Amino acid sequence: MTLSPEQHRTFRARDMGAQTPSGMPVHKYAPYQPIGLEDRTWPGRRLTRAPLWGSVDLRDGNQALLEPMDVARKRVMFDLLVSMGFKEIEVGYPASSQDDYDFVRHLIETDSIPDDVIIQVLCSMRTDAIDRSVDAVRGADRAVLQYINPTSVAQRRVVFHAGREETLALALKGTRHAVRLQEELRETELYLSYVPESWSQTEPDFGVEICNAVQEYCAPRTDHTLRIALPVTVECFPPHELADRIEYTCRHLAHRDRTIVTLHPHNDRGSAVAASELAILAGVDRVEGCLFGNGERTGNVCLPTLAMNLFSQGIDPMLDLRDLDRVRSVVEECNQLPVHARHPWVGEFVYTSFAGTHQDAIAKGLKAREQEGDPDAVWDVPYLAVDPRDIGRSYQALIRINTQSGKGGIAHLLLSTRGLTLPRSLQIDFAHVMQEFCEQRGGEVGAEELWEIFSERYVAPGTGHDVGAAGALGISTAGWTPGDWKNPVSRAFTAQEVPGAVQGVTSEPLKGHAGYAAFCETALDGRPLWGVGIDEEEAEAVRRAALAAARRALGEKRAAPRAARNAAVREPVA
Ligand SMILES: CC(=O)SCCNC(=O)CCNC(=O)[C@H](O)C(C)(C)COP(=O)(O)OP(=O)(O)OC[C@H]1O[C@@H](n2cnc3c(N)ncnc32)[C@H](O)[C@@H]1OP(=O)(O)O
Ligand SMILES: CC(C)C(=O)C(=O)O
């Protein structure tokens, strides 16, 4: 079915049952009901500091793996999280498996939890599960018990066959049990964190009611800061709706001032990062997530992405991200899952450009920055949201060459890998060569291959061509003075009857390498021909450039009649 633009404007797919233009069964889905918070204040706020971070890699991330981590892999992940600066780490679900229980015991018994790190465990709202979990953390200095019961309309209906009242009663029963254990536990400071699981699909007023019932019970019984975690167990509305619901909930929490409110966002709609940022504006203090977004289904929110977003705005991310590639490789090893090449901030390609105009702008941006000479100046390089060096990348991989590339990128690569500053018309000449090469061969040309092609064409062209028995064309540098090379080189060309006229010779020190590069431009039948010479001595580099240019000119001249003959042979007979 095709709709006119006018019909499209007024079209309501849901009225049409299964007969939609796309064929998609939209009638099976209902839009979310907005909470409609008219006096919202979060849009006027700005992010100014990092929230508290809670890693759930060893629990939510782990429970989503094909093969959950054993104690050894968990330990590697734990050490990584500590080294990055996480201060709150959920280390497992001790009631779920012996491995999870053993890992918590391992950390405690080997005294492996730094003083400034709090471990957290998760359990369901069952007294046996709470017992086992508290047993697991016995002996740690401090621990958070995150205990949960689902509150969504669907789970109340199909899993628990319970109304609001019974659901609230279950939460209170578990809370009473947890508080009793908290009071009894002498050697460990136990913080309780209540979670209305599937909060994102719970009526907002019931979410508030159940959290407040739990808090009213806990508040008089402890001096500790209270904790509530609000999970977007399934992301089913856009970020601004989440922000409204967070602001509404925070406004109505009975003990907001002494409560750490955590957001635990999943990424079903692909907007967990945006949702978390708006939720922070709307009032959450702490965000739980995983490294590179591992976790159930489409994953938990990616904490390094949130942290890098802050960093790129000049806000301390409160996580050490200076070697993000190392973090990525440890995570890939532990999770046995690859991180996508385009994953924000850390993917293999996120600081790499193949496209000519981008490469050109990046190269110019880096050059301008270098010329300005202030490494601490505010970062403003086109197409690069941060300085790749800040997360441990070099500038070398910024530019890679294929059919989409242009002269600026190619020149940058030769400059950054070989120290060569190509004259503009040589850049143009070589870009044509590379374009043709990439179109014929396909794929990417790496820095090494680029150099080989460049070198074969300009530095040592046609070494098979005999350019004078005296070798080296008889071009001698004796008596030359810098800046006065063009004429002697021209004379040598004429003397040796090398075709073409010398247009110019320049030379420059190599950048970041010892020695000089010289560029000799000749013109043959109106076409520019280049030779490049490289040597520790400037004069010798010039001599080589002239020699290379002469070889190219001779080679071209000799190839021309052959090419003409070949073309004539191919000419169709009339
Ligand atoms: C959104 C989240 O990520 S929540 C965390 C989810 N994580 C996991 O499930 C991994 C760990 N889980 C496990 O190892 C196991 O599921 C266990 C050990 C916890 C429980 O296993 P089992 O007793 O075999 O039950 P099962 O896995 O089928 O769980 C469903 C049962 O738990 C009940 N249940 C589910 N969630 C909760 C909860 N938060 N509190 C109390 N009961 C719950 C269900 O109603 C169902 O009860 P039923 O047996 O009366 O039908
Ligand atoms: C139990 C909570 C924290 C959770 O993992 C979720 O709801 O996704």
Give me the DSSP letters along 322-379. Answer: TTHHHHHHHHHHHHT-PPPTT-TTTSTTTT-B-SHHHHHHHHHHHHHHHHHT-TTSPP
- Which residues are within 8 A (CB) of 527 and not within 5 positions of it... i.e. 6 or more apart? none
| Ligand nearest to C-alpha 288 | 2
Q: Which 8-state DSSP code applies to residue 380?
A: -
Provide the whole-model pTM: 0.88
> Ligand 2 pocket: which of 62, 123, 266, 290 to mutate (most atoms <8 Å of CB)?
266
**Predicted local confidence at residue 233, as pLDDT:** 98
User: If you take atom 11 of ligand 1, which residue's CA is the nearest one?
Assistant: 96
Pick the atom of ligand 1 nearest to 159's CA.
Answer: 45
**Predicted local confidence at residue 467, as pLDDT:** 46
Asked if 225 and 177 count as a contact pair (C-beta separation under 8 A), the reply is no
State the Cα–Cα distance between residues 233 and 60, nearest whole angstrom: 11
| Ligand nearest to C-alpha 268 | 2
Ligand 2 pocket residue status of 235, Cβ below 6 Å: no
**Predicted local confidence at residue 488, as pLDDT:** 62
| Ligand nearest to C-alpha 262 | 2
User: If you take atom 6 of ligand 2, which residue's CA is the nearest one?
Assistant: 233
State the Cα–Cα distance between residues 249 and 427, nearest whole angstrom: 61
Asked if 65 and 333 count as a contact pair (C-beta separation under 8 A), the reply is no
User: If you take atom 44 of ligand 1, which residue's CA is the nearest one?
Assistant: 159
> Ligand 2 pocket: which of 96, 122, 192 to mutate (most atoms <8 Å of CB)?
122
What is the DSSP pairing of strand 226-232 with strand 259-265?
A: parallel
Measured in Å, residue 197 CA sits from the centre of ligand 2 at 6
**Predicted local confidence at residue 562, as pLDDT:** 60
Ligand 2 pocket residue status of 266, Cβ below 6 Å: yes
Measured in Å, residue 126 CA sits from the centre of ligand 1 at 9
What is the DSSP pairing of strand 52-55 with strand 286-289?
A: parallel
State the Cα–Cα distance between residues 554 and 556, nearest whole angstrom: 5
pLDDT in tens, the chain (574 residues): 566 766 666 766 666 666 788 889 998 999 999 999 999 999 999 999 999 999 999 999 999 999 999 999 999 999 999 999 999 999 999 999 999 999 999 999 999 999 999 999 999 999 999 999 999 999 999 999 999 999 999 999 999 999 999 999 999 999 999 999 999 998 999 999 999 999 999 999 999 999 999 999 999 999 999 999 999 999 999 999 999 999 999 999 999 999 999 999 999 999 999 999 999 999 999 999 999 999 999 999 999 999 999 999 999 999 999 999 999 999 999 999 999 999 999 999 999 988 889 989 999 999 999 999 999 999 999 999 999 999 999 887 788 898 989 998 899 999 989 999 999 999 999 999 999 999 999 998 999 999 999 999 999 775 544 444 334 455 555 555 555 665 666 666 665 666 667 778 889 999 999 999 999 988 888 888 899 999 999 888 888 888 888 888 877 777 766 655 555 555 444 3
Ligand 2 pocket residue status of 286, Cβ below 6 Å: no
Measured in Å, residue 266 CA sits from the centre of ligand 2 at 9
**Coil, strand, or helix at residue 304?**
helix
**Coil, strand, or helix at residue 231?**
strand
The ipTM (two decimal places) reads 0.94
Measured in Å, residue 198 CA sits from the centre of ligand 2 at 7
Asked if 511 and 476 count as a contact pair (C-beta separation under 8 A), the reply is no
Q: Write the CA distances from 532 to 272, 453, 473, 476, 540, integer angstroms.
A: 53, 13, 15, 16, 11
Ligand 2 pocket residue status of 60, Cβ below 6 Å: yes
Q: Reading across the β-sheet that carries 501-509, which strands appear in turn?
A: 501-509, 516-524, 527-535
Residue 145 parent element (H or E): strand 142-150
User: If you take atom 7 of ligand 2, which residue's CA is the nearest one?
Assistant: 233
- Residue whose token pair is 């979670």: 195
Ligand 1 contacts (CB < 6 A) are 60, 63, 93, 95-96, 124-126, 148-150, 159-160, 197, 233, 296
State the Cα–Cα distance between residues 248 and 187, nearest whole angstrom: 38
| Ligand nearest to C-alpha 158 | 1
> Ligand 1 pocket: which of 58, 60, 96, 161 to mutate (most atoms <8 Å of CB)?
96
- Residue whose token pair is 């209270």: 226
**Predicted local confidence at residue 526, as pLDDT:** 80
Q: Which 8-state DSSP code applies to residue 573?
A: P
Ligand 2 pocket residue status of 264, Cβ below 6 Å: yes
Q: Taking each helix axis as running N to C, give the angle between helix 98-109 and helix 71-84, from 0 to 180 degrees, rounded to the nearest 10.
A: 50
User: If you take atom 16 of ligand 1, which residue's CA is the nearest one?
Assistant: 96
User: If you take atom 1 of ligand 2, which residue's CA is the nearest one?
Assistant: 197
Ligand 2 pocket residue status of 148, Cβ below 6 Å: yes
User: If you take atom 30 of ligand 1, which residue's CA is the nearest one?
Assistant: 159
Within 10 Å of residue 14's Cβ, how many Cβ atoms? Answer: 12
| Ligand nearest to C-alpha 197 | 2
